[in-house]
Amino acid sequence: MAEQPTSAGEATPKPALKDHLYGGQAVIEGVMMRGRDIWALAVRKPDDAIHIESHEIESVAKKHPILAKPGFRGVIVLGQSLKIGFRALTIAARVSSPEEVQLSGGTMGFAMALAILLFVGIFIVFPALLFGWIGNRVGSGVWTSVAEGVFRVLLFLGYLAAIGQTKDIRRVFQYHGAEHKTIAAYEHEAPLDPEHVDRYSTLHVRCGTNFLLIVMVLTILIFALFGSPPLHWRILSRIVAIPLIAAFAYEMLRLGARFPDSWLMKAVMTPGLWLQKITTKPPSRDQIEVAIASFNEVLRREAAVSPTDGATVSAPPGAGPPDPAPRPGTP
């Protein structure tokens, strides 16, 4: 763990894991970046200094290589992403807040647990209840399940558009854009300084926004096959099936990153790229500096650690190869 001022234009360490796809996450006044074995967090403090810390990633896939295989790794990465993401959010909330308004760890844990329950309630249970009620009156069937899925997607899009209008969430979306720009600059071997990083797009095919949208679209298709079971099975099937659907969505994101010029992958990824126009905003220079500081910390730690043998799991959905537009020197 380290805390220090940073110079965003300093020389970038050469990574030990060049073939790895990096990911990340925007947090309150900061950015979390993730490599294969290291994740780092940079947060802008109230006094304008940048807090930087990094940690090793503990993965069960290192002990059980089969979990790094397609079909399993998506679930593992999803669980790791949630764990690291919650920890990064907690740290960011503490570091970015003045001392007199900081919340306790217990309060933050309660708030996050409540947020998960609200998410499940609003986007899973509520649509299932609503269309279970509708199905009892107009008749259940495939089209009722399809309508439920479409309603869930529209509800999700409306939620993102609404919260994006608030000042605090808009700043998080700006840090999200800074995260994407930084990774795009690195992948195109451009210097990691604000001037060069800002030339890249805020859109990435492997973004978590794409991941969520693909999951929701897949739920429409898969849940339609289940028909209209009794209400309790309807809700339970939605919750149990999500990790399996997420695993498949993760593999689709990897294909999108591997074959960015494929017309099929472009068609699959384009709706998610459109959606990122809501969830990413053009960042300011100081926000880009924070994203660079976080990414440089991952590269610094990776350069000091020799690659390990055995199977590993790629970075979580967050950012990856950019959409086919930016190149060094291109806005």
pLDDT band (50, 70, 90) for residue 320: very low
Q: In this structure, is residue 319 part of a structural domain?
A: no
Q: In this structure, is residue 318 part of a structural domain?
A: no
Question: CA angle, 224 as apex, 243 and 316 as ends, to 5°?
Answer: 25
**Whether the Cβ atoms of residue 202 and residue 279 lie closer than 8 Å to each other:** no
Average pLDDT of the chain to the nearest whole number:
80
Nearest to 178 by CA among 58, 303, 40, 319: 319
Tens-place pLDDT, residues 173-197: 999 999 999 999 999 999 999 999 9
Query: Which residue type is seen at 307?
Result: P
**CB-count exposure of residue 118 (10 Å: 0-12, 13-18, 19+):** exposed
Looking at mean pLDDT, say which of 68-72, 155-159, 216-220, 247-251 comes out highest.
Answer: 155-159
Q: In this structure, is residue 249 part of a structural domain?
A: yes
> What confidence score (pLDDT) does residue 73 get?
80
Average pLDDT over residues 245-260: 80
Residue 47 three-state SS: coil
Cα(41)–Cα(34) distance, integer angstroms: 9
Q: Which residues pair with 322 in a beta bridge?
A: 204
Q: In this structure, is residue 10 part of a structural domain?
A: no
Q: List alpha helices for 63-203, DSSP H.
A: 73-96, 105-120, 126-138, 142-163, 167-187, 194-197
Q: Is the pLDDT of residue 324 over 90?
A: no
Instruction: Give the domain extent around 29.
Output: 23-303
> What confidence score (pLDDT) does residue 296 get?
96
Q: In this structure, is residue 151 part of a structural domain?
A: yes
Q: How far is CA 47 from the centre of its chain?
A: 28
Average pLDDT over residues 251-264: 80
Tens-place pLDDT, residues 88-137: 999 999 999 876 566 666 777 787 788 888 888 888 889 888 888 887 78
Number of domains in the chain: 1
Q: In this structure, is residue 118 part of a structural domain?
A: yes
Q: Which of 13-22, 44-53, 137-146, 226-235 has the lowest average pLDDT? A: 13-22
Average pLDDT over residues 1-10: 41
Q: In this structure, is residue 274 part of a structural domain?
A: yes
Q: In this structure, is residue 312 part of a structural domain?
A: no
Q: Which pair of structure tokens corresponds to residue 287?
A: 């926000």
